[in-house]
Amino acid sequence: MMATLSHTWTILTAVTVLTAHLCEVKKCCKLESSAGIDVLLGSSFRIYCTNLTVPCRKKFYGQNNAPLPPQLLNSTTIYYDVVNITEKKTYSCKCRSSGCDSCGQDFSTGYPPECPKNISCTYKVKNSDSGDVNCSWDRGRDTFLKNDLTLEMRILSKNHTHAPMLDSFSSKATDRSASVPVPGSVLMIAVWVQAKNALGFAASIHKNYTLSDIKMPSTPVLRQPDCTSQECIITVEQPVMTQHLEIQYRADTQTWTSSPDSGVQMRSVQVASLEPYTLYHFRVRSKFTTGLWSLWSASISNWTEEEAPAKELDVWYAEPASDFRSLTVYWKELSISAAKGKILSYRVRVYSPNSGQNITNVSAEARSYSVPFCAECEVSVWACNSKGSSPPAIITSEYTKVKLRHLDPLQDVHKVADNLSVTLSWRKPYAAVRRSVVEWFPKGHTMELRWVGLGPNENHVVITDVKPFECYEGAVYVFYNESSVRRTRFTGVTTLESAPAAVPSVQETVEGKQVRVTWAEIPRGQRGGCLTNYNIYLENQDNQEHRKHYSIQASQREHVIKDLSSGTYKLCMTASTANGEGPAGKPITFFMQQESQLSPLLVCAVAAPIVVVLVCLYHSSAVKQRFWVYFQCLMLDVVPDPANSKWAKECIQDKGKMNLQLQLSNSSGAEEEEEPILVDVEELPHPTSLSPETETVTVLYPRTTYIKSFSHDSDSSDLRQTSMDTNSTVDYISSHGVGIMDEEEEEEEEEEEEMLGFFPSHNIFIEPLEFGGKLTLNAVKIDCGDLFPNSAF
């Protein structure tokens, strides 16, 4: 086994030696410089290439193997002069003999070191026995070469005697600082810095320090603070007791503030007068009786606890809806310092003297809420966090009435706009002002309401919360007290402005000789500012020279163009701002028709035959008679029943003779009663004719039973009436005066007389009525059933 291993090692050794011999390249030359490999920047020098073995033909090469022209020095050496070298370069020399490697050298350029200056040292006390002296300096310009720096220190005796040198230290330094450990018994030191490189050497001046003047404690360490709503207690840890502490704190966006308790050495430091619910950062440093302050500790942070909000919300409201059913209340988010905690919700209460109160909780993200409109209501809004709620912000009924009643405007309200803001100012009222409110919002978008409150002596405001190319409107409210307010509206406020980028959406409606043009408002983002007017361009295609321009106010949405003649028209619209007119929309073509003359002729042609037919029917007696029959039958409900007459009932009791008692009365009182007048009633047979001259008339209609009552003067002769029906009885009642009947009976008589006078000349009853004196018909009943035996009424 051992023999096998020995044989293996022998083989490996032989292979290694053979490989090294085969890989060995014969070096044939050597390259040297007259200035060394580190040369002064901008200097000139000479480089040499010398044979090491047998002579060979050599050649110089520069950067990127660029060939250089050599100079022959002797049979074995060539040279090349490098002039004004400004950067690090590499030069090489190659021998043309086979089996020889080239030789070369890298040359670095730079400067010798300057003397270090501005040395500054501190003595950092680690414990009571020792510390470190830390020094820093300015090394001067960059040498572009490798530099060696050392901090040299000489330590003096405790009793300040300079003769005996107790000790000296040397510390390897970086380019700009170094640290040297020093015993605690040392009182004074002398320090300096040495620098050297390939081109030179330099040393700073010596600087002496008294360690008590540069003594510095180690950096303190802070523990996590323990905080309440308005104070925090911080624990400080230090390896060496110091005589002074300074603690500072700040919120995120604030500057550092020193605590009033700074300057007294304590292990625990209390920081008071803090704001609730605020993230504070703390840091601390320390100092001995003499010497320097330590470095600031790493900062630590913690939140103070919450408190109930102590400030009421800033609330305002928009004008009530057009139907006066709701009122939108707006409020601003409280600042962190005013909220004193994380707002979890808002509470809105509406109180009415009639219906009591209604309380609603609103989410923390909400900034407005719509409440039922009530002219006598009081609206209160609270902000709530985990510790409680803010004082109520109240909008009384007088507030809501401000926007409903007419108020005298302010005088001289001026608007000045620039690219970023708008300035509003107004003449200060003579009366004492309690406060003012300025509101503004994009035109037509009250949901984006903004407002700012002003003090009693302020009469101008700079509005910065506005967007460019947006038109704003608003109002200024000056409160003298809660029920006396003056309001002035303003509109047309914008910062940057341009011509509109879009066109109105137009629609036309032809109405006779006029056309009604309606359009939709340009989208909000394409108006370019405040629109001043709309433009309508109308052109008659049949008469292209006749082109009209109509300018309409920006608040209008329709326009009627009247008295247009027939023809084809082309219409287009644009919109304008103070900065110019926008592009024209796509033309709309419409046609105005000529009014047709055939319509009146068609009406006359249709109406003429109808009129002729009606005239012919009017001259037909049969048609008129039939019409009156139908007319009388339709009036059945308005004819009174004679059977219900008081006089008819008396006639039934004493047929043939009727006692008529006249009761004449006047305004003075009742008259004396007179004896009743007796009237004879005779029944006559049905005659065949009305008079000797009257021709025989055939009865065209069925006989009708009726009762007629007449009245006449007492001196008139008896009247006789022959009935068409022999079975009917006609009673004649004599009357000696009109005043014997009451007002209702007189009205009934007048109605009956009007009906009789309405009958046509060819009476359907055939027999004419003959009567004398004054007719006092109490009631008439006409039975039309016999006229239409086959009809049911």
Token pair for 150: 């050392």
What amino acid occupies position 439? E
Q: How confident is the model at residue 648 (pLDDT cuts 50, 70, 90)?
A: low
Q: What angle do CA 238, 239, 242 make, to 5 degrees?
A: 60
Q: How confident is the model at residue 607 (pLDDT cuts 50, 70, 90)?
A: confident
CA distance 322 to 301: 53
Least reliable range by pLDDT among 366-370, 383-387, 418-422, 717-721: 717-721
More confident residue, 781 or 199: 199
The CATH code belonging to domain 315-395 is: 2.60.40.10
CA distance 735 to 42: 161
Which strands make up the sheet holding 45-51, listed edge to edge? 29-33, 45-51, 77-82, 71-72
Q: How many residues does the chain have?
A: 793
Strands 232-237 and 215-216: unpaired
CA distance 150 to 203: 10
3-class SS of residue 55: coil
3-class SS of residue 33: strand
CA distance 651 to 733: 10
3-class SS of residue 312: coil
CB neighbour class for 411 (10 Å; exposed up to 12, middle 13-18, buried from 19): exposed
Q: How confident is the model at residue 391 (pLDDT cuts 50, 70, 90)?
A: very high
CB 712 within 8 A of CB 778: no
Cα–Cα distances in Å, from 455 out to 430, 438, 479, 486, 488? 15, 11, 10, 15, 18
Looking at CATH, the fold of the domain delimited by 414-493 is given as Immunoglobulin-like (2.60.40)
Token pair for 495: 């910062």
CA distance 46 to 67: 16
Q: Give pLDDT, residue 653.
A: 56
3-class SS of residue 651: helix
User: Buried b / exposed e across 171-182, counting CB within 10 Å, b at 16+?
Assistant: bebeeeebbbeb
Least reliable range by pLDDT among 483-497, 524-538, 544-558, 674-688: 674-688
> Under CATH, to which class is 221-304 assigned?
mainly beta
The residue assigned the tokens 């002074």 is 244
Q: Can you state the percent helix, strand and coil of the chain, rounding each to 5? A: 15, 40, 50
Q: Residue 163: is its pLDDT beyond 70? A: no
**Residue of 736, 742, 745 whose CA lies nearest to 773:** 736
CA distance 477 to 452: 11
Token pair for 153: 């220190």
CA distance 343 to 334: 9
Q: Residue 526: is its pLDDT beyond 90? A: yes
Torsion angle of C-alpha atoms 651, 654, 657, 659, degrees rounded to 10: -70
Q: Residue 745: is its pLDDT beyond 60? A: no
Token pair for 126: 């680690």
What amino acid occupies position 684? L
Q: Residue 518: is its pLDDT beyond 80? A: yes
**For residue 448, what are the contacts with CB-CB under 8 A and spacing of at least 6?**
441, 442
What amino acid occupies position 496? L
Token pair for 528: 């370019």
DSSP 8-state secondary structure symbol assigned to residue 615: H
Q: Residue 582: is its pLDDT beyond 70? A: yes
Q: Where are the domains of the chain?
A: 25-110, 117-216, 221-304, 315-395, 414-493, 505-592
Per-residue pLDDT reduced to its tens digit, 229-271:
999 999 998 888 888 889 999 998 889 999 876 555 667 888 9
CB neighbour class for 75 (10 Å; exposed up to 12, middle 13-18, buried from 19): exposed
Q: Give pLDDT, residue 775.
A: 45
Q: Mean pLDDT for the chain?
A: 76
Q: Residue 22: is its pLDDT beyond 70? A: no
CA distance 729 to 708: 9
CA distance 711 to 690: 22
Q: Residue 524: is its pLDDT beyond 80? A: yes
Q: What angle do CA 629, 630, 635 make, to 5 degrees?
A: 100
CA distance 94 to 100: 8
Q: Give pLDDT, residue 185.
A: 83
Looking at CATH, the fold of the domain delimited by 117-216 is given as Immunoglobulin-like (2.60.40)
Strands 100-101 and 26-27: parallel
Q: How confident is the model at residue 622 (pLDDT cuts 50, 70, 90)?
A: confident
Q: Residue 351: is its pLDDT beyond 50? A: yes
Q: Give pLDDT, residue 99.
A: 63
CA distance 364 to 390: 14
Q: How confident is the model at residue 297 (pLDDT cuts 50, 70, 90)?
A: very high
Q: How confident is the model at residue 645 (pLDDT cuts 50, 70, 90)?
A: low
CA distance 643 to 779: 8
657 φ, ψ to 5°?
A: -135, 135
CA distance 784 to 332: 87
Sign of CA dihedral 759, 765, 770, 773: negative
Termini Cα distance of the chain: 151
Cα–Cα distances in Å, from 160 out to 110, 133, 191, 289? 43, 18, 16, 21
Arithmetic mean of pLDDT, 124-143:
89
Token pair for 41: 């920047």
**Residue of 712, 706, 707, 682 whose CA lies nearest to 776:** 712
- Residue 634's CB: how many other CB atoms inside 10 A? 10
The residue assigned the tokens 């004679």 is 642
**For residue 100, what are the contacts with CB-CB under 8 A and spacing of at least 6?**
25, 26, 27, 28, 29, 53, 56
**Residue of 582, 555, 330, 581 whose CA lies nearest to 441:** 330
Token pair for 87: 């950067």
Angle between helix 621-634 and helix 598-618 axes, rounded to 10 deg: 90
Strands 188-197 and 215-216: unpaired
Cα–Cα distances in Å, from 257 out to 284, 298, 340, 605? 11, 16, 21, 105
CATH number belonging to the domain at 25-110, selected among 3.30.56.10, 3.40.50.300, 3.40.190.290, 2.60.40.10: 2.60.40.10
Q: How confident is the model at residue 606 (pLDDT cuts 50, 70, 90)?
A: confident
CA distance 95 to 102: 6
Cα–Cα distances in Å, from 44 out to 39, 85, 290, 636? 9, 7, 57, 148
CB 186 within 8 A of CB 212: no
DSSP letters spanning 463-474: E----TT--EEE
The residue assigned the tokens 């002797």 is 74
More confident residue, 248 or 23: 248
> Under CATH, to which class is 505-592 assigned?
mainly beta
Would the CATH topology of 221-304 be identical to that of 414-493?
yes
Q: How confident is the model at residue 130 (pLDDT cuts 50, 70, 90)?
A: confident
